[in-house]
Amino acid sequence: MIRAASDEVTARPVQYPRMAEADRIAEFKEVAELMPDDPVVRFGLAGAYLDVGRPENAADEYREAIRLKPDYSAAHRGLGRALERAGRIGEARAAYQQGLEVATRNGDLQTVKEIEVFLRRLEKAAG
């Protein structure tokens, strides 16, 4: 907002209303129907499910993204997170390991680092 010359000039980020989570899921589902072979759309739908606490649905969508693009390291990472949140720790560990292999092969160092952190957290929790 710009004020008179003697006043302070402040810049505030524009705030847009957040889309209701159910609307986000419905929108991603609609796009997924139009573009069923797009792994990025499946990844987005999975994230929307994870955001509303539906990790089993998220895991299904991450698996579909991986089926469509096996080298999608972020989808492997997401699958691990979804399985972990669903309490399926052994499966989460396996998904993270697979994601680590894919990310390493792809040279995706950011995802490698993130997955390593997630794996260490699982190891600490196990004891």
pLDDT band at 16 (very low <50, low <70, confident <90, very high): very low
What pTM value is reported for the model? 0.81
Q: What is the mean pLDDT of the chain?
A: 88
Question: What is the average per-residue pLDDT within 2-11?
Answer: 46
| DSSP letters for the chain | ----TTSPP------PPPPPHHHHHHHHHHHHHH-TT-HHHHHHHHHHHHHTT-HHHHHHHHHHHHHH-TT-HHHHHHHHHHHHHTT-HHHHHHHHHHHHHHHHHHT-HHHHHHHHHHHHHHHHHH-
pLDDT per position as a tens digit, 56-85? 999 999 999 999 999 999 999 999 999 999
pLDDT over threshold 60, residue 4: no
Which pLDDT value is given to residue 22?
74
| Residue 124, token pair as written in the block | 């600490």
